[in-house]
C-alpha cells in the first residue's frame, strides 16, 4: 500500500471551503467520479491500494511545518506533497527586503531536507489575482507583490531542485478563472481539483503523462 502525505497550508487543506469537504490529497488518492468524471481512473487507488495521511493545515506558514511532522511514522512506499509560502507572504514577506526571505528559505530547506519521505513534490504559490491588477486584493502596489511572489517561488524552485520536484501551481492557475477561488484566495471545489490536476503528472496518473 502506498501512502500519500500532505503538508503545508490551505492549498492542500481546503476541504472546509467547499460543501463536499474535498481537498486535493483526497482526490489524488481516490477521485470522486460523480463530481469529476474526467478524472475517473486517474488516482492512486486505481493503480494500487493507497491511503492518505493529511497533515496540511489551513493558515500554516513555514514555521508551522515542524509541528505537522510530530508523531510521524512513515509507511513505505510513500509520497509527500508540500505547499507553503502564501501565508508567509501575507504575514509580511510580501514587503520583505531580504532577511525574511532568507529565513523562509532556510526553514523550508531544513524541513524538506530532513523529511523522511521521498519522493517529495513541492507546489509553489499561485497568484489569486490571475495576473490582473484589477483583482488586486492587497493594500500595496501589485508590482511589489508580484516581485515578492516571484522571489518566494524561486526559493521553492531551488529547494525542489535539491530534494524533489517542483509542481508549478503558479503557472497552472494563471490559465484559470475566478471560479477556481473562494474567499478571495482559497481554492474552491474546482480549485481543489485543479491543484490535483497539477500534481497528477508527477504521480504518473495523468492521461497525458
Position 134 confidence tier, pLDDT thresholds 50, 70, 90: confident
Instruction: Tell me 16's DSSP state.
Output: G
Q: Answer for the pair 202, 121: CB distance below 8 angstroms, yes or no.
A: yes
pLDDT-derived band at 139, boundaries 50, 70, 90: confident
- Does 99 score more than 80 pLDDT? yes
- Residues 38-92 have pLDDT tens digits of 999 999 999 999 999 999 999 999 999 999 999 999 989 999 999 999 999 999 9
Higher-confidence residue: 208 or 120? Answer: 120
Confidence of residue 133 (pLDDT cuts 50, 70, 90): confident
Q: How far apart are CA 166 and CA 45, in angstroms?
A: 23
CB atoms within 10 A of CB 16: 11
Considering only residues 121 and 137, tell me which one the structure prediction assigns the higher pLDDT: 121
pLDDT (tens digit per residue) in 163-191: 999 999 999 999 999 999 999 999 999 99
Q: In this predicted structure, what is the pLDDT of residue 75?
A: 85
Go through the domains of the chain in sequence order and give each one's CATH number: 2-203 (3.40.50.1110)
CA neighbor of 172 nearest in space, from 126, 135, 104: 126
pLDDT attached to residue 98: 78
- Which DSSP state fits 94? G
Q: 5 pairs with which residues across the strands?
A: 53, 80
- At 97 the pLDDT is 72
Inform me whether the pLDDT recorded for 208 exceeds 80.
no
The CA-CA-CA angle for residues 121, 12, 32, to 5°, reads: 100
Amino acid at each position: 500500500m502506498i501512502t500519500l502525505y500532505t503538508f503545508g497550508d490551505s492549498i492542500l487543506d481546503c476541504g472546509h471551503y467547499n460543501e463536499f469537504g474535498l481537498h486535493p490529497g483526497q482526490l489524488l488518492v481516490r477521485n470522486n467520479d460523480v463530481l469529476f468524471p474526467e478524472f475517473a481512473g486517474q488516482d492512486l487507488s486505481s493503480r494500487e491500494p493507497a491511503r492518505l495521511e493529511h497533515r496540511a493545515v489551513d493558515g500554516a506558514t513555514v514555521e508551522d511545518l515542524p509541528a505537522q511532522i510530530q508523531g510521524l511514522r512513515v509507511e513505505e512506499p510513500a509520497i509527500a506533497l508540500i505547499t507553503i509560502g502564501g501565508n508567509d507572504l501575507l504575514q509580511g514577506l510580501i514587503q520583505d527586503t531580504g532577511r525574511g526571505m532568507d529565513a523562509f528559505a532556510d526553514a523550508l530547506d531544513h524541513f524538506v531536507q530532513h523529511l523522511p519521505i521521498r519522493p517529495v513534490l513541492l507546489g509553489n504559490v499561485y497568484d489569486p489575482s490571475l495576473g490582473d491588477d484589477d483583482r488586486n486584493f492587497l493594500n500595496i502596489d501589485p508590482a511589489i507583490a508580484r516581485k515578492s511572489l516571484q522571489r518566494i517561488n524561486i526559493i521553492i524552485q531551488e529547494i525542489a531542485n535539491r530534494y524533489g520536484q517542483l509542481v508549478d501551481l503558479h503557472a497552472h492557475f494563471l490559465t484559470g478563472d475566478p471560479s477556481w477561488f473562494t474567499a478571495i484566495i482559497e481554492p474552491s471545489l474546482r480549485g481543489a481539483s485543479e491543484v490535483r490536476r497539477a500534481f497528477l503528472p508527477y504521480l504518473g496518473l495523468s492521461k497525458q503523462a
